[in-house]
Structure 1
Amino acid sequence: MPAESVRRRVLVVEDDPVINQAVADRLRAEGYDVVRAFDGPGAVAAYGESAPDLVLLDVMLPGFDGHEVCRRIQADRPVPVLMLTARTDEADILVGLGVGADDYLTKPFRMRELVARVAALLRRVERAAELAGRRALELGDLRVDGPARRVWRGEEEVRLTPTEFDLLLCLAATPGAVVTRERLLAEVWGWDGATGTRTVDSHVKGLRAKVGADLVRTAHGVGYALEVPGSTP
């Protein structure tokens, strides 16, 4: 059962009734309050009615797909989204991350891993509040305002997803220093252990596309570093 005294509510969106029921049953057994939906329009409606703390969202849905569901609910208020997908192509995964998903889990998945991902994402929300409380940073032409959760490159404001912002803020705390994938998982996602490093890599690609490829350096086999814009090598 979640350690929090208040029961967290999870919206499960999956068109396969067997998978939907199995996931709902397991989450209820873990102490979560569960709301269920089976298609795109139903998911958006259930989200508005139930105000969940987290959304488990299948990509392939009747009505409109999970990407459109994610886009619509994130426009209402930021909420952690774990996408469930049968697709393993990186381009498809990046689309989900780009519309505001925090993480993804490929089918078939183990219930134990799903529960662990849900708990980690809920911890990430708490960590995000802590990270955002840090002071504003100015690194060359990059400005990061933690409390306001806004980023500028030069005069242009950069629109980041909640996870991309937290990832940037974590890297910006020690500019120039390599931060391991494992530390990023622990700091941003609240995960322990090395599993899930592909999630970090996918989010970094999305971050680079928005703030500039020159800003985030890869230390192959180790992690990433934020380079100060305009600094000499």
Structure 2
Amino acid sequence: MIAAKTILIVEDEPKIAQILADYLAMEGFESRIVGDGLYAVEEVKMYQPAAIILDRMLPNVDGLTICKQVRLFSQVPILMLTARVEEIDRLVGLNTGADDYVCKPFSVREVVARIHTILRRTQQTQTTTSPSLLTFRYITLDCERYSCISNNEYVELTPVEFRLLKTLITKPGVVYTRDTLIQHCYDDGRIVSNRTVDSHMKNLRHKISIANEPPLIQAVYGVGYKVA
């Protein structure tokens, strides 16, 4: 599920989160609010927001950890909120992956303006460049050369396997049905059974698996496949 104008607000103070959501609504955005750091990363994977407003201090999992985890699979713009002015320089120095920082207490209008600025910058980058590399966890795909690197080692994939993997890692967390995968990976109108997709997936999972690592490709019973 993709919501191009959805902003994920990860903030444990309900009043602050709701004020942000209200102001964002006036600017044409929709918002999802998460009050516990434990659920933030799954929300990002599931809803793929246009940007994230991320509080530094959260229950269970702090903002820095969330930011680093998100950067393993997504370049979604992140605006981090911190309660101390002097912490901003330290956060920048840590290279946490956040795109911008705002200190509490803040002007809600400033936060919304920063979101607009971040989105304009990223949209300009997306329209002026066409990256051929896709990276997720330990996998890197070169879409121009049809090559796959798994854990820094070249892996030979068939064209169908490559298209399957590309489809999955383009939207981590999204569950693709077998019929959808067939449409993405076979463009010549041939009739392909679900068993054929399962066979390709079995081979693909074997080729890119790494010992002691959770499986990259996960089967969702009765539905299809996803990467996580």
Give the TM-score taking structure 1 as reference length: 0.52
Aligned residues, how many?
131
- Aligned partner of 1:94 in structure 2 is 92
Selected match of 1:70 from 67, 70, 73: 67
- Aligned partner of 2:175 in structure 1 is none
- Choose 1 or 2 for highest CA Rg: 2
- The answer to whether residue 102 in structure 2 is matched with residue 105 in structure 1 is yes
- The answer to whether residue 44 in structure 2 is matched with residue 56 in structure 1 is no
- Sort the Cα spacing of 1:113 and 1:92 in 2 relative to 1 into closer, same or farther, 3 A: same
Is the partner of 1:92 in helix, strand or coil? helix
Q: Runs (4+) of structure 1 moved beyond 3 Å? A: 130-133
- Aligned partner of 1:26 in structure 2 is 23
Aligned CA-pair RMSD = 2.2
**Structure 1 runs not aligned, ≥5 long:** 1-5, 134-146, 150-233
2 CA distance for matches of 1:76 and 1:7? 18
1:29 is displaced (CA, Å) by: 2.0
1:93 is displaced (CA, Å) by: 2.5
Question: Do the aligned partners of 2:4 and 2:50 also contact (CA within 8 Å) in 1?
Answer: no
Selected match of 2:118 from 106, 116, 121: 121
1:95 is displaced (CA, Å) by: 4.9
- Aligned partner of 2:163 in structure 1 is none
Question: Do the aligned partners of 1:88 and 1:106 also contact (CA within 8 Å) in 2?
Answer: yes
Q: 1:87-138, CA deviations, whole angstroms, 9 ceiling, x for partnerless residues?
A: 2224432256x121000111111111111111111101112225546xxxxx
**Structure 2 runs not aligned, ≥5 long:** 134-228
Selected match of 2:80 from 78, 83, 90: 83
Selected match of 1:46 from 34, 43, 48: 43
2 CA distance for matches of 1:18 and 1:101? 23
- Sort the Cα spacing of 1:7 and 1:129 in 2 relative to 1 into closer, same or farther, 3 A: closer
2 CA distance for matches of 1:15 and 1:124? 28
1 CA distance for matches of 2:48 and 2:76? 9
- Aligned partner of 1:169 in structure 2 is none
- Sort the Cα spacing of 1:41 and 1:95 in 2 relative to 1 into closer, same or farther, 3 A: farther
Give the TM-score taking structure 2 as reference length: 0.53
Is the partner of 1:28 in helix, strand or coil? helix
1:86 is displaced (CA, Å) by: 1.1
Indicate the larger mover: 77-86 or 25-34. Answer: 25-34
